[in-house]
Amino acid sequence: MREIWALARKDLRIEARSKVVATQIVPFAMVILVLFGLALDADSRTLRDLAPGLFWVATLFASVLAIQRSIAVETISSTFEALRLSGAPAWKLFAGKALAVAIQLLAIETVLGLGIVVLYRSSFQDPVLIVTAAVAATIAIASAGSLYGVLAVGMGVRDTILPMLLLPIMMPVLVAATRAFGDGLGTAALNGWTWAGLLGLLAVVYATAGALAYAVVIEDT
């Protein structure tokens, strides 16, 4: 556990100093919210009804950038080899990288949450459900993203491939997270907790797949 946290803290410290997420990715996510508002004619009723879906689409787009950044901090100075030399098992390296991404994504989602309250007039009717669903979805996105992020680097792989690999497999997460938020924001009459449960299952599946596959893919970075 200490190794996982040490690795996550390293990435968070790099972010604290470089402020790429804070000054580029968070503003990008807000730009997406504003773009949706303009594209959908700024009808507040429509925006409020669609807020759960728009929130998660914005989060997914921002997550692609956050994952690319998480991988770039290793490739810029070729530190993947150093990570492997640290002697920590591959699954711990995976968990550390994914944890750092998850924490950054939660920060982005917090800002986006405020964004939909201010811009789309959303209201958090069931905050516990919202937070639970957001944490589970974030673990799923960060896990799948950290694995695919590594698959999309090194050995001449083009980094433009990441969205095309990641976004199609994130569609179940999008469906489930949107439904859970629909209940939590009071825009849809359904049982959000069932969807939060599915998100929990997805988080477990992607975290397990990532932990198992990381050893295979990190060899050639």
Partner 1 sequence: MSTALSRPHVASTSSKLTLVLGVASLLGLAVLLVFSFVLTDPDQRVFERGADLEPLLTGQGDAVRLLYVHFPVAMVTYIAFTLNAIGSIAVLWKKSTWWDNTAAAAAEVGVLFCGLTLATGSIWGRPIWNTWWKWGDVRLMTTTILFLIFIGYLAYRRTMSDSRVRAKRSAVVGLIGAINIPIVYKSVDWWQNRTLHQQSTLRNRSVEDLTLFTMIFGMVVFMAIFAWLMVHRFRIGWLEHQTETVGLEAAIIERRAQTSAAISDAVTDSRSSAETGSD
**Nearest to 108, CA basis, from 53, 44, 142, 62:** 62
* Six-digit token string for 108: 């982005």
Answer left, alpha or beta for residue 89, where phi above 0 means left and psi between -120 and 50 means alpha.
Answer: beta
Asked if residue 29 lies in contact with residue 62, where contact means CB atoms within 8 angstroms, the answer is: yes
Under the binding rule (CB under 8 A), the answer on residue 50 touching partner 1 is no
In the bound state with partner 1, the residue whose beta carbon lies nearer, of 134 and 166, is 166
| 179: contact with partner 1 by CB under 8 A | yes
Q: Does 215 bind partner 1 (CB under 8 A)?
A: no
Residue choice 25, 47, 133, 147 for contact with partner 1 (CB under 8 A): 147
Residue 220 C-beta: closest distance to partner 1, Å: 5
- Least distance between partner 1 and beta carbon 152 (Å): 8
CA angle 106-109-114, nearest 5°? Answer: 130
Contacts 24+ apart (CB under 8 A), 32-41: 32/57, 32/58, 32/61, 32/62, 33/58, 33/112, 33/115, 33/116, 33/119, 33/120, 34/119, 37/119, 37/120
**Nearest residue to 207 via CA among 55, 88, 101, 64:** 101
Told to check if 14 binds partner 1 by CB under 8 A, we report no
* Distance between CA atoms of residues 108 and 163, nearest Å: 18
Is 97 a binding residue for partner 1 by CB under 8 A? The answer is: no
Applying CB under 8 A, among 172, 188, 193, 204 the residue interacting with partner 1 is 172
Question: Which of 6-14, 52-60, 124-132, 202-210 is the region at the interface with partner 1 (rule: CB under 8 A)?
Answer: 202-210
The footprint of partner 1 on this chain (CB under 8 A) covers a number of residues equal to 29
77/160 with CB nearer partner 1: 160
78: alpha, beta or left, given left = phi > 0 and alpha = psi -120 to 50? left
202 touches partner 1 (CB under 8 A): yes
Contact track, partner 1, 106-145, x by CB under 8 A? --------------------------------------x-
Mapped onto helix, strand or coil, the DSSP state of residue 41 is coil
Minimum separation from the CB atom of position 154 to partner 1 (A): 8
Which residues are near partner 1 by CB under 8 A? 144, 147-148, 151, 155-158, 161, 164-165, 168-169, 171-172, 175-176, 179, 194-195, 198, 202, 205, 209, 213, 216-217, 219-220
